[in-house]
Amino acid sequence: MKKIVPQKNLHEFFYQEIQSILAQEPDSIDPAASFYLVNLLSTIYQKNETQQSVINFFDEPLALLLARAHHSNDPEERFTLLKHLGDRALYISGFFGDSLGQSAVDLDYYMAMGGTAYRSLSSISKEKPRQKNLSELFQSLAAHFAQLVDIISQISEASGITKNEDLLRLYERWIHTKSSRLLQKLKDQGIDPLEQHKKILH
C-alpha cells in the first residue's frame, strides 16, 4: 500500500499516480484536465502551520452552494463558488463514493452537481475572449467528470487514503458527538472543521 508523501513531494506524488493510471487509460482525459487534477489534489493535501491544507468540503450543502452562485451579482464570487462546488463534488465523489451509497444523497447526485458547476464555469469563461482556454478546460472537466472520479478512486485505493478511516463518516460522527478525540483524528488528516477559512481554493 502506498502512503501519501511529505508536503514538498505531493505534486510529484499525484502527478506520478495520475500518469500511471493514464498509461493504462490513455484516452480518458486530456493533459489540461490531468494537470488540473494534480494541482487540486496537491492543494487539498498540502499541510501548513495554519492547518488550511484541506478545504472544508463538508459544511455547506451542494444545493445551497449552487443557489448562492446563481443568485450572486458579483461575477468573481459566482466563479469562486461554482469552482468550489465543482472541486468539492469531484473530491468527495472520488474519495468517498462508496460511503455515499449510505448517505441521504448518492454518488450520482454529487457527480451531476459537479458536472453542472464545471459546465457553468465553461459558459462564464467563454464570454471572455481571453479565457477561451479556461472555458475549454472546464468543459473537459464536465465532460470527463466520471473518468476523473474513477482516477481519484484508484489513487485512494492504491494509497490507502480512506482505507483505514472513512473521513466522511468520521466527520459525521464528530458533528453529532463533538468528540475531541474525533476532532484530533480529523486534524491529523488535515481537516479542521473549526477553522474559518478566509479563502476558498482558487
Count how many domains the chain has.
1
Q: Name, in order, each residue with C-beta under 8 angstroms of 100's C-beta and a sequence gap of 6 or more.
A: 92, 93, 106, 107, 109, 110, 168
For residue range 66-115, list pLDDT tens digits in order.
Answer: 999 999 999 999 999 999 999 999 998 888 776 665 555 678 889 999 99
- Going by pLDDT thresholds of 50, 70 and 90, the confidence category of residue 53 is very low
The rounded mean pLDDT for the chain is 78
Element at 141 (helix H, strand E): helix 132-143
Distances (CA, A) of 62 to 9, 57, 85: 31, 10, 7
pLDDT band at 45 (very low <50, low <70, confident <90, very high): confident
pTM of the model: 0.74
pLDDT at site 201 = 42
**What percent of the chain stands above pLDDT 90?**
39
- Per DSSP, 131 falls in state G
Range of the domain at 85: 7-188
Q: pLDDT value at position 153?
A: 85
Check pLDDT > 90 for residue 138. Answer: yes
169, part of any domain = yes
38-63 average pLDDT score? 65
Which residues have CB under 8 Å from 107's CB, separation 6+?
93, 97, 100, 101
Residue 201 lies in a domain: no
User: Is residue 35 in a domain?
Assistant: yes
Within-domain flag for 200:
no
pLDDT at 131 exceeding the cut of 90 = no
Taking only the tens place, the pLDDT of each residue in 155-170 is 887 776 554 446 666 6
Q: Is residue 163 part of a domain?
A: yes
Average pLDDT over residues 130-156: 91
- What mean pLDDT is predicted for residues 57-70? 83
Tell me if 55 is assigned to some domain.
Answer: yes
| pLDDT score, position 43 | 85
1 found inside a domain: no
DSSP structure class, residue 20:
H
